[in-house]
Amino acid sequence: QVHVVESGGGLVQAGSSLRLSCAASGRTDSPYAMGWFRQAPGKEREFVAAISRSGGNTNYADSVKGRFTISRDNAKNSVYLQVNSLKPEDTAVYYCAAKSIWAVTAVVTSAAGYNYWGQGTQVTVSS
């Protein structure tokens, strides 16, 4: 079992930046691909960004390309999401997810592909 915990959310003004963190604990000896998703009130959960086991491959939703950057530190069992130039439409609960996987370069963009989820961290962007 792997526990995933997000942190770093908050209330910010449009144009601001945040760094979301995701720490995995428990059975971290298994290799994991990681991803970030978000869910705004009244909307479906949507893909934001994903990163491969090695960190060498990433994928982003079109709506965040050029503004968000996903990275990971395998020594710390952590994944980060740097979010810049925030817009009111980025307001959502941001979730981190982990998928047990052996493929080093695989990037998982579907929520259904993930085994473990955190409880989420709220990001609110005021205009």
Summary mean pLDDT of the chain: 94
Whether 62 shows a pLDDT value over 70: the answer reads: yes
- Residue 28: what pLDDT? 63
Tell me how far apart the alpha carbons of residues 52 and 34 are, in angstroms, rounded to a whole number: 7
Confidence of residue 25 (pLDDT cuts 50, 70, 90): confident
Confidence of residue 2 (pLDDT cuts 50, 70, 90): confident
Phi and psi at residue 90, in whole multiples of 5°? -85, -5
Q: Rounded mean pLDDT of 33-58? A: 96
The larger pLDDT score, comparing residue 75 to residue 126, is at: 126
Neighbours of 79 (CB within 10 A): 29
- Decide: helix, strand or coil at residue 28: coil
Phi and psi at residue 76, in whole multiples of 5°? -105, 5
- Decide: helix, strand or coil at residue 113: helix
Confidence of residue 1 (pLDDT cuts 50, 70, 90): confident
Confidence of residue 26 (pLDDT cuts 50, 70, 90): confident
Whether 81 shows a pLDDT value over 70: the answer reads: yes
Tell me how far apart the alpha carbons of residues 95 and 46 are, in angstroms, rounded to a whole number: 10
